[in-house]
Amino acid sequence: MKIIDCHCHLGRYFNFSVPGHSPEDMINSMDNTGVEKACISPHMSLSSDIKRGNQFMMDTVVKYPERFVGFFTYNPHFPDLMEDELPRYFCTTGIKGIKIHQGTHKTTLQNPAYRNIYSFADKYRIPIMIHTWSMQTIKNIEEISAQYPNAVFIMGHFGAIPDNMIYAASVINSRSNVYGDTTVSMMYEKNVEWLVEIAGENKVLYGTDMPFIDPRVCLGRVLHSDLSESIKEKVLGKTMNDLLENVKTYENS
């Protein structure tokens, strides 16, 4: 069974202890849990240094192309830099996604400076992993995903708390291009089964927040769930693999 972790980070974080944060540490963890590939966006790019963080991501993907898929972090406060850097990154094999963390970047998804990256993702069918921790963000995704139907919007954390997750699932069900992941902290018992029930077996993706969160617990929630083997296969990797394979090759014109 192919396992792809759709929601990972990389490296140290400025105000937390994050053991096992190097690429090699993460590969060791992936080997221990049978994970084939991890989609990465370094902590550095989400907080302290967007330029060095994205470079760290690319260097890691180039060094370990069989294990990591790169997600380019987009910071709307530096639109000229982002526009200049996009071609260089998306010409690199193995970089197939975009990461948005409007929380650490102190803005909202409605920031006009995000429109460039939404259009870019729409043109190339690129998945966008979005930190989804509030009802406002879910409603923003509901609106934006309708405007950019070819882009793929992944609700990282699925809305964070159960009440938000119910509304997130309604958005996922109403949009063919919106998904949610299993990277959650506050959840009910049998939580993975519940997410599949409310959002559908084709719309839930396996994510862990590694190395921020121990992936063994996250994997166990899926493997030891009551889901059928065919649904587990979709959640753990098949659906995400299909999304990554659907990304169009970047044309540097």
Say yes or no to pLDDT of 245 above 90.
Answer: yes
Point out the least confidently predicted range of 16-20, 70-74, 108-112, 188-192. Answer: 16-20
Task: Give alpha helix (H) positions in 34-129.
Answer: 43-46, 50-63, 79-90, 115-124
What's the confidence (pLDDT) of residue 253? Answer: 54
Q: Which residue has the higher pLDDT, 213 or 117?
A: 117
Residue 44 sits at the vertex; the CA angle it makes with 77 and 80, to the nearest 5 degrees, is: 25
What's the confidence (pLDDT) of residue 112? Answer: 97
What's the confidence (pLDDT) of residue 188? Answer: 78
Mean pLDDT of 190-213: 95
For 124, the token pair is 């190339």
Are 39 and 215 contacting, i.e. CB atoms less than 8 angstroms apart? no
Closest C-alpha to 153, from 167, 165, 143: 143
Say yes or no to pLDDT of 166 above 90.
Answer: yes
Q: How far apart, in Å, do the first and last CA atoms of the chain sit?
A: 38
Say yes or no to pLDDT of 146 above 80.
Answer: yes
Quickly count: other Cβ atoms within 10 Å of residue 217's Cβ: 9
pTM reported for the whole predicted model: 0.96
Give per-residue pLDDT as tens, 169-192. Answer: 999 999 999 999 999 877 778 999
Mean pLDDT of 105-115: 96
* CA–CA dist 23, 117 (Å, integer): 27
* CA–CA dist 215, 54 (Å, integer): 23
Give per-residue pLDDT as tens, 1-21. Answer: 899 999 999 988 877 777 889
Mean pLDDT of 135-161: 97
Are 98 and 70 contacting, i.e. CB atoms less than 8 angstroms apart? no
Say yes or no to pLDDT of 95 above 60.
Answer: yes
Percent of the chain with pLDDT over 70: 99
Point out the least confidently predicted range of 18-32, 115-129, 184-198, 222-236. Answer: 184-198
